[in-house]
Amino acid sequence: MGYEHITVEPIAGACGAEIGGIDLSQPLNDSVFGEVKQAFVDHQVIFFRDQDITEDQHKDFGRRFGTLNIHPRYVPLEGHPEIFPIRKDPEVKKIVGGVWHHDLTHLPEPPLGAILYALDVPPTGGDTMFSSQYLAYETLSDGLKETLAGLVGVHDNRIQAPKIASDRNAERSSKLREGADAVEEPECEHPVVITHPESGRKALYVNKIRTHRFKDMTEEESRPLLQYLFGHTEKPEFTCRFRWRKGSIAFWDNRCVMHRALNDYQGHKRYMNRVTVNGARPV
Ligand code: SIN
């Protein structure tokens, strides 16, 4: 579509576009907001540069898309339960989100998306990658698409869930809440192929940190096909890679892209704030 109020520059063939002509510290009128929303649907992940927003403005932008998620496990930013601080201090080696994933797919209603704002970035490195799960689905053979149409994925949080929260907290700058190790998280089922409610396109919906088997099959039986799908979803030709600057924002659609943060900036600091928008049950 044509845009009258904003500029939209794709950054890769698969997904991702940089949006210009917008200041997110100001309220967006409905016409501008409508174009941002359209760009989000069209490009799956959108980026803004040189923004200077407060925590409240960050949350206000998120609320234009839905209610905000309070992360079940991480300590929020003080005074802002809806802000998940994603931090790495120079002396810390491990990061949050360093493996390809969708956010929180062990929940019955996983997030619609997340808005990540860069407060402090390393001189180089710390990029985030995104992978279009529309393309992952569309490039499968007709035979495999037919097989997947009948499959339901069983998701759980066993890899992310800490056995002992304090051990995990000793290794990472983003801290888990006290009692995070006792949070009960039952398994949850989602179709392996979902249809995006706004674009109408089909997307693959499995990820290696939370999808451990197919419904009515054992993990052993499910593993070969899941392993194939995990490898397929990460193919470079489905991806884009975003280089952060202070004041950059990425807003990804958790229904059709996976993401992965790169841990290649040892000895440097990277501070981000994340606002996560609640979503609906995938179908
Ligand atoms: C995440 O939300 O998974 C982390 C993304 C990032 O830090 O780039």
Could you tell me the CATH number of the domain that includes residue 140?
3.60.130.10
**DSSP 3-state percent helix, strand, coil across the chain (nearest 5):** 25, 25, 50
Q: Are strands 193-195 and 202-204 parallel, antiparallel or unpaired?
A: antiparallel
Mutate to test the pocket of ligand 1, among 92, 257, 272 (most ligand atoms within 8 A of CB): 272
Please identify which residue in the block is written with the tokens 């109020």: 5
pLDDT digits (tens), the chain, 283 positions: 689 999 999 999 999 999 999 999 999 999 999 999 999 999 999 999 999 999 999 999 999 999 999 998 899 999 999 999 999 999 999 999 999 999 999 999 999 999 999 999 999 999 999 999 999 999 999 999 999 998 999 999 988 776 778 888 989 999 988 888 777 888 999 999 999 999 999 999 999 999 999 999 999 999 999 999 999 999 999 999 999 999 999 999 999 999 999 999 999 999 999 999 999 999 9
Residue 217 has what pLDDT? 98
Q: Is residue 283 part of a domain?
A: no
Residue 1 has what pLDDT? 66
Residue 167 has what pLDDT? 84
Distance 153 CA to ligand 1 centre (A): 23
CA 106 – CA 210 distance, rounded (Å): 7
The domain tally of the chain equals: 1
Q: Is residue 119 part of a domain?
A: yes
For the CA of 103, the closest atom of ligand 1 is 3
Q: Is residue 282 part of a domain?
A: no
* Domain membership of residue 248 as a residue range: 7-277
Distance 4 CA to ligand 1 centre (A): 31
Q: Is residue 145 part of a domain?
A: yes
CA distances to 140, 183, 197, 203 from 149, in Å: 12, 32, 17, 11
Residue 52 has what pLDDT? 98
Mutate to test the pocket of ligand 1, among 128, 249, 265 (most ligand atoms within 8 A of CB): 128
Q: Is residue 2 part of a domain?
A: no
Q: Is residue 71 part of a domain?
A: yes
* Atom 7, ligand 1: residue with shortest CA distance: 261
Residue 166 has what pLDDT? 85
Structure token pair of residue 141: 């053979």
For the CA of 84, the closest atom of ligand 1 is 2
CA 213 to chain centre: 21
**Is residue 259 annotated as part of the catalytic site, yes or no?**
yes
Q: Is residue 268 part of a domain?
A: yes
Q: Is residue 1 part of a domain?
A: no
Distance 258 CA to ligand 1 centre (A): 11
